[in-house]
């Protein structure tokens, strides 16, 4: 059985700071492999409180798509939890180079706990247990950022993490399920920010046409517009299946595409 559980669906500063939605990223599970993507603030607490409980000591790996705090705030404590306080050297940490160097978000003493640290690169191919994934080209997001094309449970899942829109974006992510980080309802005037708006999402989905699109990582304007209403409207317009993630949403990959 393979599933994706959205531990938190908050995006950008205000929704995270005020915890209007939980932050903390996503738990992926495929057969006997568990992988955590982007352990932002609250990841540990929300995993342990989720029902049924998701225990980080069963993780086989942790991925940081980039070093921003809302994606990495709990990475150190999650590594500690994965390795049972550092007593069991296990698990793989995947992260872009700038999350490990310069002003690193992964503490040096914590790095000793994991079995392996893999530096993410453009067009890389990675595997942890039953889950494999590739990265595309670097996103346009200020810090080194990679989206993911995952293969798990016999399905393909693409993940457009934080980025500004660029022309090649819809061609990079071809999974049957496409997860998109959409911070803004509308673009911000003439000086675009490094995040997608619903206008960008519409452009991407019209071209990529996945079997299922999942919107998440919402900023304030999306929360105010109620993401489930925004998703329903676009679903009607594009005549394709689009859902808005909510905190704790679990997608069973076998069921969801049926
Ligand atoms: Zn970011």
Banded model confidence at residue 256, pLDDT cuts 50, 70, 90: confident
State in Å: Cα 143 to ligand 1 middle: 8
> How high is the pLDDT of residue 1?
86
On whether the CB atoms of residues 40 and 16 are closer than 8 A, the answer is yes
State in Å: Cα 255 to ligand 1 middle: 31
State in Å: Cα 64 to ligand 1 middle: 11
The model scores a pTM over 0.85: yes
State in Å: Cα 108 to ligand 1 middle: 22
Mean pLDDT, the chain, rounded, equals 95
* Angle CA 128–133–137, to nearest 5: 140
> How high is the pLDDT of residue 91?
98
Does the pLDDT at position 86 exceed 80? Answer: yes
State in Å: Cα 99 to ligand 1 middle: 12
State in Å: Cα 68 to ligand 1 middle: 5
CB atoms within 10 A of CB 232: 14
Of the chain, the percentage scoring pLDDT greater than 90 comes to 92
Residue of 115, 207, 95 whose CA lies nearest to 158:
207
State in Å: Cα 96 to ligand 1 middle: 13
Q: For 38-47, 183-192, 236-245, which range has the lowest pLDDT when averaged over its residues?
A: 183-192
State in Å: Cα 141 to ligand 1 middle: 7
State in Å: Cα 140 to ligand 1 middle: 10
Does the pLDDT at position 258 exceed 90? Answer: no
State in Å: Cα 196 to ligand 1 middle: 11
State in Å: Cα 165 to ligand 1 middle: 13
State in Å: Cα 142 to ligand 1 middle: 8
> How high is the pLDDT of residue 190?
63
Give mean pLDDT, residues 81-107. 97
| pLDDT tens-digit map of 181-220 | 999 998 887 666 799 999 999 999 999 999 999 999 999 9
State in Å: Cα 242 to ligand 1 middle: 23
Answer with the residue of higher pLDDT: 14 or 234: 234
State in Å: Cα 70 to ligand 1 middle: 7
State in Å: Cα 66 to ligand 1 middle: 7
Residue of 223, 65, 99, 14 whose CA lies nearest to 215:
223
| pLDDT tens-digit map of 143-177 | 999 999 999 999 999 999 999 999 999 999 999 99
Tokens for 158?
A: 């693409």
Give mean pLDDT, residues 97-116. 97
| pLDDT tens-digit map of 19-33 | 999 999 999 999 999
């Amino acid at each position: 059985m393979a599933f994706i559980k959205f531990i938190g669906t908050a995006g950008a500063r205000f929704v995270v700071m005020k915890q209007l939605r939980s932050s903390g990223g996503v738990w992926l599970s495929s057969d006997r492999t568990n992988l955590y993507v982007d352990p932002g603030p609250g990841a540990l607490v929300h995993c342990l409180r989720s029902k049924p409980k998701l225990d980080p000591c069963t993780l086989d790996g942790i991925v940081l798509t980039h070093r921003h705090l809302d994606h990495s705030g709990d990475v150190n404590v999650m590594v500690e939890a994965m390795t049972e306080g550092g007593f069991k050297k296990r698990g793989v940490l995947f992260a872009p180079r700038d999350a490990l160097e310069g002003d690193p978000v992964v503490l040096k003493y914590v790095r000793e706990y994991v079995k392996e640290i893999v530096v993410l690169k453009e067009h890389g191919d990675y595997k942890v247990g039953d889950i494999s994934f590739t990265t595309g080209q670097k996103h346009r997001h200020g810090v080194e950022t990679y989206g993911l094309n995952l293969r798990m449970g016999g399905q393909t899942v693409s993940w457009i993490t934080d980025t500004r829109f660029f022309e090649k974006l819809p061609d990079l992510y071809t999974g049957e399920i496409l997860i998109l980080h959409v911070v803004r309802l509308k673009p911000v005037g003439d000086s675009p920010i490094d995040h997608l708006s619903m206008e960008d999402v519409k452009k991407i989905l019209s071209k990529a046409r996945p079997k299922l699109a999942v919107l998440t990582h919402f900023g304030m304007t999306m929360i105010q517009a109620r993401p489930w209403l925004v998703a329903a409207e676009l679903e009607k317009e594009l005549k394709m299946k689009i859902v808005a993630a909510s905190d704790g949403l679990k997608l069973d990959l076998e069921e969801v595409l049926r």
